[in-house]
Amino acid sequence: MTSVILETLKKEYKLTNYEYSLMRKNSKIWLLIWTAALFSACVRFEDSFTDSIFVDEPELDPASELYPFDRWLEENYLKPYNLDFRYRMQDKGSDMDYNLVPAKLENSLEMAILVKHLWFEAYNDVAGPDFLKQHGPRIIHLIGSAAYKPALQTMVLGTAEAGIKITLYNCNELNPKNIDLLNEYYFETMHHEFAHILHQKKTYPKEFETFSAGYYDPSYWQERTDSEAASLGFASPYGSSQPREDFVEIIANYIVKDSVWWTDRLRMASQSGVNRDGQVVDDPLDGQEIIEAKIDMCRKWLKESWDLDLDSLRRNVTKRQLQIDSALIEGYKKIDEYKNEQL
């Protein structure tokens, strides 16, 4: 956990390698300082949700062309959630190991509206208005491109850092008309990353790691087909990379994927897997039984640890997926109202 926090501080404050090495040598001291700062911020946050923790944020400029969108973000994210929604790509806080491009303004507008509709308001309906105020991220950072890993032939769609920040990649490919791609590349990612934040705060049961023990592979998962992964008890190939990814993939896919998808996934899980070469891969596991047991454990953990009903959340997200067009219309209407204030 300490290394994760130090890495986050390095990115956020653009530390040199020398500064970072000094911090690592005195990691316990820095961790105490960081914890104290975080604690004081949390106390201030809990006392009043209206006081921003981003004290150095400049005031909005009514003369700016981006004022209507910035005002909407302030009213819908900063004030209610103490959340800085960053659509202007920042070198500080971006992973410069990748060749990244900024998110386009149009895609940023749509993403901000849809995140509010399909994520924040969905949790509000099920868990109450204070849940994300207390447990949600404090920063959402949009990146236009995906973060490609050529050596592994994979791309990163999202990251969660130290329970504070979520970065969403590939935003320039956003298409609100394609619900399957919305779920696959964005909203499954959002629920995936938020589930990371939740288990970073309250550890998931260690028993979860025993279901598919011996079949996790962080260096080979990308070679597994959906069929192979399912037969081993994983909701996705990425879930077979390591236990914590398995845990959040179960939760995220259960929330956003419909009954047709899950029926097909469980059908694959009940059969022997087929690899990329079309060969049947024999294994001694009952993939369907394992996936269903994992879902039950995730359901129980969310309820007991967070008083969050997984099935209610899933139903709410499914309902909201049918309301995307109206959510976008309403969001743009409000942004236009702020635009009229400038006239």
The CA distance from 140 to 129, in Å, is 19
Going by their DSSP bridges, the two strands 84-86 and 147-149 should be labelled as: unpaired
Cα–Cα distance, 244 to 239 (Å, whole number): 8
Same domain, yes or no, for 27 and 96? no
How far apart CA 61 and CA 67 sit, in angstroms, is 6
**pLDDT given for residue 56 in this prediction:** 55
Is the domain of 205 the same as that of 262?
yes
Does residue 81 share a domain with residue 26? no
> Could you tell me if 112 and 260 lie in one domain?
yes
How crowded is the C-beta side of 288, counted as CA atoms within 13 Å?
11
**227 and 167 in a common domain:** yes
Number of Cβ atoms within 10 Å of the Cβ of 58: 6
One domain for residues 96 and 230: yes
If asked whether residues 302 and 221 sit together in one domain, one would say yes
Residues 25 and 162 in one domain: no
- Reading the chain (343 residues) residue by residue, the pLDDT tens digits are 455 455 554 554 444 454 445 445 555 444 444 444 433 333 222 333 445 544 455 677 777 889 999 999 999 999 999 999 999 987 655 665 667 889 999 999 999 999 999 999 999 999 999 999 999 999 999 999 988 766 656 777 888 787 788 899 999 999 999 999 899 888 998 899 899 989 999 999 999 999 999 999 999 999 999 999 999 999 999 999 999 999 999 999 999 999 999 999 999 999 999 999 999 988 889 999 999 999 999 999 999 999 999 999 999 999 999 999 999 999 999 999 998 876 6
Give me the DSSP letters along 250-316.
Answer: HHHHHHHS-HHHHHHHHHHHTS-EE-TTS-EE--S--HHHHHHHHHHHHHHHHHHHH---HHHHHHH
Is residue 30 in a domain? yes
84 and 42 in one domain?
no
User: For residue 334, is it within any domain?
Assistant: no
Count of domains observed in the chain: 2
Q: Is residue 211 part of a domain?
A: yes
Cα–Cα dist 328/68, whole Å: 15
Does any domain span residue 61? no
Return the pLDDT at 19: 46
Taking a C-beta distance cutoff of 8 angstroms, is the pair 128, 100 a contact? no
Q: What is this structure's pTM?
A: 0.78
- φ, ψ for residue 106 (rounded to 5)? -60, -45
> Is 32 in the same domain as 142?
no
* Same domain for 106 and 4: no
Residue in the structure block whose two tokens are 């959630």: 81
Q: DSSP readout, 46-95?
A: HH-TTS-S-TTPPPP-TTSTTHHHHHHHIIIIIHHH--EEE-S--STTS-
Task: Give, for 244, the enclosing helix (H) or strand (E).
Answer: helix 243-256
3-state per-residue secondary structure call for 133-181: HHHCCCEEEECCCCEEECCCCEEECEEEECCCEEEECCHHHCCCCCHHH
> In CATH, what number is assigned to the domain containing residue 175?
3.40.390.70
Residues spanned by the domain of 43: 1-47
Q: How far apart are CA 164 and CA 176, in angstroms?
A: 27
Instruction: Tell which residue, 343, 285, 7, has the closest CA to residue 160.
Output: 7
Residue 332 lies in a domain: no
Containing 80, the helix (H) or strand (E) segment is helix 79-81
Q: How confident is the model at residue 176, as a pLDDT?
A: 94
Distance CA 132, CA 129 (A): 7
